[in-house]
């Protein structure tokens, strides 16, 4: 009689808590699915047995997810990924998923504004190339930065920006060329879905430490190891330059006092030590949320200006509609990021 009941959470708010726990474990901490399911099941059973809400028993879902990851996932695996559970090994997954969902949204917009077919122009193809270059450079750059390779990250971002500018210049030069033909909009939707599915279906390798970077830091002198540590604290965990300098100097002091030949002998891989320095602090996630909030706010402000400008110059039309759609997408993202940052700050103060 009790078995069917035990498959449910006692309260709706507990079920929402459990869903968030699973999401944080799988998407943010990269916990294996079986481990995440076991943690959720244990929490559900504890709620039934105690009669108390999940948040009262375990704290917030985010906090409990961090505790579960810390207890059940080896530190080397946790140290191999960033705050979103990704690393450079996931670059093609990120690119394909972003291109797929972005293309699908654009296809829906074309369906509303253009109908079942749309003109293919040389300028339009150049804009497509500009978008691909910018997105690939940004994705590669962000993942490299989060891996602690700051110079590589900036290089990829610069390459993406250069590709964007070059393709936009070409698009402007080709803007008066006649259309090459008509393209069925459903083809855009199908190709976009295929890209997204390919991103999901790509083989997922287990998260591992960056062997090449770790070997270089271990084989080099102490300064290389500490530079790697600083890059991780800055690029992956979003600490300020002042905080990074202070933590690196503190680690140098401990290492000198230890008398070991190399900092790796005292602290282990730089990725592991970087995680240990910040894993009990809410600051990395709060700073990440604030960075996302500023980024989305800036984009929303830009597109809002373009909406106003388009409305004054051209009035209502397809151009205005897709720009307004960008604003409608970005504003909620910015609001959610600001709220998340404020909540994390309040949790830290409490």
Q: Which two tokens stand for residue 302?
A: 């830009």
* pLDDT at residue number 2: 42
DSSP 84: T
Domain termination residue (choose one: 73, 100, 121): 73
In this structure, are 135 and 60 located in the same domain? Answer: no
How far is CA 272 from each of CA 85, 246, 258, 267, 283, rounded to the nearest angstrom? 15, 18, 18, 8, 18
Residue 322 lies in a domain: no
The answer to whether 39 touches 72, Cβ cutoff 8 Å, is yes
Both 93 and 182 in one domain: the answer is: yes
pLDDT of the residue at 248 = 94
**Contacts for 28 with CB less than 8 Å, ≥ 6 apart:** 65, 83, 84, 85
In a shared domain, residues 158 and 95: yes
Residue 98 in domain: yes
Look up residue 80 and give its DSSP letter. Answer: T
What six digits make up the tokens of 19? 């869903």
User: DSSP state, 220?
Assistant: S
Same domain, residue pair 153 and 258: no
Which structure tokens are listed for 275? 């995680």
Residue 267 included in any domain: yes
Q: Is residue 161 part of a domain?
A: yes
272 and 240 in a common domain? yes
Whether 197 and 245 share a structural domain: no
H and E: helices and strands count for the chain: 17, 2
**What integer pLDDT is reported at residue 123 of this predicted model?**
86
As given in the structure block, the two tokens for residue 36 are 């995440």
Token pair for residue 309?
């400008």
Is residue 220 domain-shared with residue 196, that is, in the same domain? Answer: no
Q: If phi over 0 gives left and psi between -120 and 50 gives alpha, with beta otherwise, what is residue 220? A: beta
What are the residues facing 117 on neighbouring strands?
Answer: 184
Query: What sign does the dihedral 196-197-200-201 (CA atoms) show?
Result: negative
| Structure confidence at residue 244 (pLDDT) | 94
- Please give the Cα distance from 345 to 350 (Å, whole number): 9
Minimal CA–CA distance to 283: which of 246, 255, 254, 330? 246
What pLDDT is stored for residue 213 in this prediction? 61
- Neighbouring C-alpha atoms within 13 Å toward the C-beta of 334: 15
Residue with tokens 């597109």: 303
CA-wise closest residue to 134 among 170, 110, 87, 167: 167
Q: Please report whether residue 304 resides in a domain.
A: no
Q: Is residue 176 part of a domain?
A: yes
At residue 45, φ and ψ (nearest 5 deg) are -65, -40
Q: Are residues 129 and 56 in the same domain?
A: no
Return d(Cα 75, Cα 278) in angstroms, integer: 13
pLDDT for 71 equals 86
Co-location of 149 and 246 in the same domain:
no
- Res 151: pLDDT: 92
In degrees rounded to 5, what are phi and psi of residue 16? -65, -40
10-residue block means of pLDDT along the chain (350 residues)?
A: 59 89 80 86 90 87 85 85 81 86 84 84 87 89 90 93 88 85 88 88 70 59 90 92 94 90 89 89 86 89 86 72 82 86 67
Instruction: Write down which residue in 29, 48, 73 finishes a domain.
Output: 73
Choose the final residue of a domain: 231, 251, 281.
281
Instruction: Give, to the nearest 10 degrees, the angle between helix 211-219 and helix 222-235.
Output: 140
% helix / strand / coil in the chain, to the nearest 5? Answer: 80, 0, 20
Is 156 domain-assigned? yes
| Domain hosting residue 254, numbered range | 211-281
Please state, as a whole number, how many other Cβ atoms lie within 10 Å of the Cβ of residue 220.
Answer: 13
- 146, 239: one domain: no
Cα torsion angle, 240, 242, 247, 252, sign = positive
- In contact, 133 and 95? CB cutoff 8 Å: no
pTM of the model: 0.78
Q: Do both 200 and 109 map to the same domain?
A: yes
For 24, which DSSP code? I
Residue 56 to residue 324: CA distance in whole angstroms: 42
- Let me know whether 258 and 186 are in one domain: no
110, part of any domain = yes
Rounded to whole angstroms, how far apart are CA atoms 294 and 336? 11
Total number of domains in the chain? 3
- Phi, psi angle pair for 119, to nearest 5°: -75, 140
């Amino acid at each position: 009689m009790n078995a069917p009941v035990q498959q449910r959470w006692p309260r709706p708010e507990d079920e929402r808590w459990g869903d968030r726990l699973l999401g944080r474990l799988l998407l943010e901490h990269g916990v294996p699915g079986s481990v995440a399911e076991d943690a959720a099941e244990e929490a559900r059973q504890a709620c039934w047995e105690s009669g108390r809400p999940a948040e009262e028993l375990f704290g917030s879902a985010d906090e409990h997810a961090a505790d579960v990851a810390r207890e059940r996932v080896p530190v080397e695996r946790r140290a191999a990924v960033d705050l979103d559970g990704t690393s450079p090994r996931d670059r093609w997954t990120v690119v394909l998923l972003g291109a797929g969902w972005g293309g699908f949204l654009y296809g829906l917009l074309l369906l509303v504004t253009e109908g079942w077919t749309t003109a293919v122009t040389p300028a339009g193809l150049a804009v497509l190339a500009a978008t691909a270059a910018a997105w690939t450079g940004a994705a590669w750059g962000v993942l490299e930065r989060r891996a602690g390779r700051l110079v590589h990250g900036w290089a990829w971002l610069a390459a993406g920006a250069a590709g964007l500018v070059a393709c936009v210049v070409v698009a402007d030069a080709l803007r008066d060329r006649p259309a090459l033909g008509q393209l069925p909009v459903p083809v855009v939707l199908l190709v976009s879905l295929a890209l997204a599915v390919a991103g999901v279906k790509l083989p997922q390798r287990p998260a591992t430490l960056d062997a090449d970077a770790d070997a270089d830091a271990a084989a080099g002198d102490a300064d290389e190891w500490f530079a790697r540590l600083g890059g991780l604290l800055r690029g992956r965990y979003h600490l300020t330059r002042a905080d990074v300098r202070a933590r690196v100097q503190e680690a140098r002091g401990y290492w000198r006092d230890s008398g070991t030949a190399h900092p790796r002998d005292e602290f282990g891989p730089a990725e592991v030590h970087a995680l240990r320095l910040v894993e009990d602090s809410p600051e990395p996630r709060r700073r990440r949320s604030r960075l996302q909030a500023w980024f989305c706010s800036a984009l929303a402000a830009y597109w809002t200006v373009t909406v106003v400008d388009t409305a004054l110059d051209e009035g209502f039309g397809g151009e205005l509609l897709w720009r307004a759609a960008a604003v409608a997408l970005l504003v909620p993202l910015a609001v959610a990021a600001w709220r998340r940052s404020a909540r994390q700050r309040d949790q830290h103060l409490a």
